[in-house]
Amino acid sequence: MSSAVLFFTLVLLMCLLVATVVVMPWLYPAKSNRDNKLLAVNVATFKQRLAELQADKDTGEISIEHYQQQKLELQRQLLQAEQSEQPARPVRLANRIFILSWIPLLTFLAYFLLADRTPVLQLWQAQDRVANVADDLLTGKIDVPPTWATQDSIGLISAMQTNVYRHAYDANRWMRLSELFLSLEAIESAMQAMARAYRLEPDNDDIAMTYAQISFLANGARPMADARRIIENFLQKDANHEGAMMLMIMSETREGNHAQALGWIDKLSDSISNKSGDHSQALDSLQKLRDDIKHRQQKATQALKVTVSINTSLLPLIKESDGLFVSVQEVAGGPPYAVKKLPVTGINNGIIEVELTDDDAMLPDRQLSMGRGGNAKLSVKARISASGNANSQSGDLTSNPVILNKDSQSVNIEINQQVP
């Protein structure tokens, strides 16, 4: 007999067993009721025949001895009928539960004896191997997972997450998990894992510095308050801490504090130059960064800061998919000297600040600095477009042009009307 036939035979037997347990309780009560009715008929017949004998005795048709013999015979017949028609006993609940408890046991036994368990065993073994790799990565035993483990990256990440939750108070495991997320460019997840590590061991310098670095990435190179405090603490303990100085350069540059950023570059260059060895490559990189920041500083002096406000009556008309256009062009017309498109999600309480520079020019020979250095009269305009089209269309929200004074570094403009 094949395994399949045997398996299905056992399944059929279990189905019959279930059917028996379910059906029998309805069969027994029916038989019991039938037996009770027959017994009631026999009793009634006995009483009627006994009454007839009593009447015959009273009238003198039969003697007392004959009456006693007939009465005993009737009692014997009734007793015999009662014994032959005993009602069936119902199946007790305990018996049903006992029978039903064998069903899952027999099912498991059939699977264990007949089914091919190789795929399940292989899955368990693979999960154990991935779990071991995850533990080795999180404890620093290995830095790179084997090739076979990277083929199922989701499974590896899941195993690492399970591992850190089982060792929830191990800060180093959380830091290693954060590094994994960072390599996958999952900045938010990396930040959450690193924040957990920092809360567990705030005095660990490696963890604190890594947390500050990732917070820069997660916040667009703008340090959060606790990250800024970490950097300042490092510099208080070691004024030449190169990692902290580099973060200060990034922070000041992002905030537009170019002079301060250049000052930190000078300090970092001096610190590197005073160390023994060849550091020409690092110094060359810092020089390139210095030149870039100076270029940004020069552009910033020519930049135009535009504060755009939206009339409160128009705010309900704005959708998240809309785009904001801010442009500078001659009053007489012609291509704009600068134009910038931004998502409306940057609007906060009906206000958004926009900075226009030469980088926002549409044509290389028609830059903002050229327009402001000439004699042409310039105007600034803002528009919210539902279609994302640079050309004005019906339904767009727009402002009136604002004349730009030649020496102005900033201008305020209001979007207060809808294009018909």
Q: What is the pLDDT of residues 324-374, one digit of tens each?
A: 999 999 988 888 988 998 888 888 899 999 888 888 888 888 888 888 877
Exposure class string for 18-42: b at 16+ Cβ within 10 A, else e: eeebeeeeeeeeeeeeeeeeebeee
Whether the pLDDT of residue 27 is over 80: the answer is: no
Question: Which pLDDT belongs to residue 290?
Answer: 92
Decide if pLDDT at 376 tops 60. yes
CA dist 152 → 42, 156, 358, 396 (Å): 81, 6, 47, 48
* Measured CA distances, 54 to 41, 77, 78 (Å): 20, 18, 17
Query: Do 150 and 114 form a contact (C-beta atoms < 8 A)?
Result: no
In angstroms, the CA 243 to CA 230 distance is 11
Number of neighbouring beta carbons within 10 Å of residue 378: 23
Residue found under tokens 């549409």: 362
Beta bridge partners of 341: 325
Most confident of 21-30, 132-141, 346-355: 346-355
Residue ranges covered by each domain of the chain: 3-114, 146-300, 304-418
Q: How confident is the model at residue 147 (pLDDT cuts 50, 70, 90)?
A: confident
* Mean of all residue pLDDT scores within the chain: 78
Output the pLDDT for position 200: 93
Residue 405 pLDDT > 70:
yes
Given the candidates 1.25.40.10, 3.40.50.1100, 3.90.1170.50, 3.40.50.10860, the CATH classification of the domain at 146-300 is: 1.25.40.10
CATH architecture of 304-418: Sandwich (2.60)
Q: What are 237-294's pLDDT values in tens digits?
A: 888 899 899 988 888 887 778 889 999 999 999 999 988 888 889 989 999 999 998 8
Provide CB contacts within 8 A for 38, sequence distance 6+. 81, 85
The DSSP H or E segment spanning 240 is none
Domain pair 146-300 / 304-418, same fold:
no
Report pTM: 0.50
Determine what percent of the chain is predicted with pLDDT higher than 90: 20
* pLDDT tens, residue by residue, 199-240: 999 999 999 999 988 888 777 655 567 788 888 889 998 888
Closest C-alpha among 319, 309, 333 to residue 395: 319
